[in-house]
Structures are given as C-alpha cells and as structure tokens.
Amino acid sequence: MKDIAGRGQWATKTGFVLAAAGSAVGLGNLWKFPYMAGENGGAAFVLVYLGILVLIGMTVMLAELTVGRHTQLDALGAYKKLSAKWAWVGGMGVLCAFLIMAFYTVVGGWAIKYFLGSFATAAANIDFVGFITAPIEPIIYTLIFCVFTWIIVFFGIGGGIEKASKIMMPLLFIFIIIIAIRSCTLPGAGAGLSYYLKPDISQINGGVILAALGQVFFSLSLGMGCMITYGSYLGRDSSLTQSAWMIPTLDTAIAFLAGLAIFPAVFAFGMEPGQGPGLMFATLPQVFGQMPAGEFFASIFFLLVIFAALTSAISLLEVVTAYFVDEKSINRSSASVIGIIGIFILAIPCSLSMGSLAGVHIIPEIASMNIPAMGFFDAFDFITSKLMLPLGGLLLCIFVGWVWGTDNAINEITEGGISSFPLAGVWSILVKFIAPIAIFMVFLSGFGVI
Ligand code: TRP
C-alpha cells in the first residue's frame, strides 16, 4: 500500500466532480439511454429510470465514494482492507471493467468513424449496418479508440483527465441542448415528444424495470468499484454528499437531453424507436442534415461524443490499472499497457459479432427467464449491466450497511462530525434495507421468477 501523496490526488474539488461526472457521462447517456428507452416503452422506461436513480443510484453513489475516500485504495484493495473475505467483490469489479470496455471501445470506434465521416462525405451518407458488420474497418477504429484511452491513463490522474474534462464537458452540454432544440422543432416532432414524455404505465414489466436498473448502474458508473477508485483519490476536505447528488443529476440531465435530441427526430423521419444500438447513429446525422452548417455541427458533435466516451473509458481502464498498481505492485505504465491489450483482444470478437460472428451465441436462449440468445457484444452488455453491476451494488450495500457498518460510513462522510449530513438516517435505511431488497426484487421479476 502506498501513501496518499504517492498515488496522486485530484488537484481541485471541481476537478474531481468534473472527472467523476466525466466518468458517468459517456456513451451510456448519449448512445445507450435513448435506445434502451426506445426498446422499453419510451416514457415508461424514463419514469422507472428516474425512480431507481433517486432511490438506488444516489444511495450507492454515496456508498462507493465513501468507501473509496476512507480506504484510499482501488476497488479490490478497499474491500480487502475493510474485510478480507470481501476482496472477491472488488475482484468482480475489475473483471467487469474488462467486459464493459470490450464493447465500449467498439462503440467508441463507431463514433470516430462518424466524426471522420462528417468531413469526408456526410455522416448521413454512412451505411451504418454495412459499416459495423464489416470485418476489418470497425476493428481498426476500435484500436484507435483504445490507443487514445491508453494515452490519457498513461499520463496519470491530474494531468490528463482533469484538464480535458474542464473544457469538453460544458461544451457537450451546450451542444446537446442546441441539437435537442433543432430536433424538437422539426415538423412532426410532436409524436416523438409524447412517446418520450407521456408514460404508458401498462408498458412497465419486470424486463423494463431490470433494464432501467442496469442502465442506472451503467450510466452512473456504479456497481464495480469505479467510484470507489475515483473516491480514493479524494482528499478529506471534499463533500461526499454533494458529489453523490450532483454527479447523478448532471448525468441524468445529459441522458434526458440526448433522448430529447433523438426521439422527436425518430418520429419526424418515420424511423423505428426500438431499433437498438444503431439508434443514435441512424437518427442524429439526419437531424444535422436539417440544420444550417449541419456537417460542421455533426463533426463537432461526434468529436464531443468521442470525448465523452474517452472520459468514461479512462475511468474503466483506471480501475484495471489501479488494481495492477496497488495489488500486484506493477508500475503504472506496464499496468495500463497490460490492461488495454487485454481489452482490445476482447473487443475483437465483440466487433465481429455484428457481422462475421453474428451466428455465434455465447449465451443460449433461456425463454423461461426472458433471456434471448446472444453473441459477444450483446452478451458482454447483458452480463455486466443486467447481472454484475446490480449484483455489485447489492453486495456493496450489504457490505457498507452490515459489515463495515453505516456508523463508520457516516463518520467518514461527516469527517468525524465536522460536516453535517441531515439525511444520515434516511441513507442508512436505504443502504441497509431498501436498496438491497429492491435490487433483489428487480432481479426476481426481471428473470421472470415473480
Ligand atoms: N458511465 C459510463 C457511461 O455512461 C460508462 C462507465 C464508465 C461505466 N465507468 C463505468 C459503467 C463503470 C459501469 C461501471 O458511458
């Protein structure tokens, strides 16, 4: 174990909030949230998402940051320090980071293709399906995305991550608002707005709730120790409670705006809201086509998407890197190289599963549990979002609530009573009872047990 100074700390408080928000805000908001909503009943999904966000998302966010700041260690080390028997939960988080990165870098690569495409011809002219099903080209873009991610992690915490976040995050926010305005004012946008904003309660079922739960964890970077690792770089003087509601609020605002940019356009152009992972790539170039200087906007937008994806990807690679550095005493540069090479190797079958390996299913259909047959890309997404992340969150709540104890946690949050935490009692109940039971129930209903 190294001392705090030796691992580096966030230079400034806003630097941390921006970097943590940078981890949270990524493809999960811009690419995944809209298509998940589109596949799961539109506004009904949004409603369930918001409920889970407040009840479970913010609770788990505070728990993770607290464990991180208290132990000043990576995910596995943090668990191990507080209770050796729990180290495997942290280990599961490291594995999870590999699996998420395997498909995340593929989608990051798609964004690079669209960025370059908006210069070459027009993003709207790219044949999305033709591109992602090709054997070689998407893998080259995935590799480019991996290399960028690695470069930032290689140069360490303060230098790379913080500086870049400060410029790009606010810019992304402004851009997505501009695009949402254009989309909402298209002729025929109304149908999309009501699909996205008027919940049809009858659409809500176990599958929708599990999808929303998984998406909350994915979008907030929770359930696998990412926020433990980021919290570990925090100094004592930072407000954990403030971060625990500000990061989720910002994250949700961006996801919501992404939906507002996409759904009105989907309906205005007569497209299919439930088309899945291609949704953002198929619709937004059409919206840009309806804007003055559209190709200019498209290129800047896809640049911001790439950036948002990078600030998230570095947090995932950081989990892997911090593990090798803190637990295996490997130096930072070798650790990040080993991590990214492993990730790229896993990303190859993910990319190929869109085309050449389309028929290869690594998860078979289990109809009685609502599980369809899945290839690499879908399987890694399913295993992480719908199983490992919520399970990691469930275990974290039990760990903080019952093993380490909410008294110790609250002591860390308030710095031994120096700062106030008026919701301490409510949070204790949420961590000990409500969040773990709710997650368990969502599993049962999502897999058709109840
Ligand atoms: N939250 C990021 C996004 O929305 C992805 C991400 C980064 C993530 N770190 C994570 C997801 C940790 C789960 C766990 O794009």
Nearest to 24 by CA among 316, 336, 403: 316
**Percent of the residues in the chain that have a pLDDT greater than 90, as a whole number:** 76
pLDDT band, residue 161 (cuts 50/70/90)? low
pLDDT band at 166 (very low <50, low <70, confident <90, very high): confident
pLDDT band for position 157 (50/70/90)? low
- Distance between Cα 375 and ligand 1 center (Å): 21
Atom number of ligand 1 nearest to Cα 220? 1
**Pocket flag, ligand 1, residue 390 (CB < 6 Å):** no
Task: Output the pLDDT for position 277.
Answer: 93
Q: What is the distance in A from the centroid of ligand 1 to the CA of 230?
A: 12
CB atoms within 10 A of CB 421: 16
pTM of the model: 0.95
Cα 302 to averaged position of ligand 1 atoms, centre (Å): 18
**Please, which residues have CB within 8 angstroms of residue 138's CB and are 6 or more apart in sequence?**
106, 109, 110, 113, 131, 132, 351, 354
Question: What value does the mean pLDDT of the chain take?
Answer: 92
Examine the pLDDT at 290 and tell me if it is beyond 90.
no
221 lines ligand 1 (CB under 6 A): yes
DSSP 68-115: HHHH-S-HHHHHHHH-GGGHHHHHHHHHHHHHHHHHHHHHHHHHHHHH
pLDDT digit string, tens, across residues 397-415: 999 999 999 999 999 999 9
pLDDT for residue 3: 38
pLDDT higher than threshold 50 for residue 2: no
Nearest to 442 by CA among 61, 100, 49: 49
Q: What is the pLDDT of residues 239-256, one digit of tens each?
A: 899 999 999 999 999 999
Closest CA to 291 of 193, 186, 172: 186
Question: How far is 6 from 447, CA to CA, in rounded Å?
Answer: 45
The answer, yes or no, to whether any atom of ligand 1 lies below 6 A from the CB of 218, is yes
- State yes or no: pLDDT of 223 exceeds 90: yes
Q: Is the CB of 315 under 6 A from ligand 1?
A: yes
- pLDDT for the residue numbered 1: 35
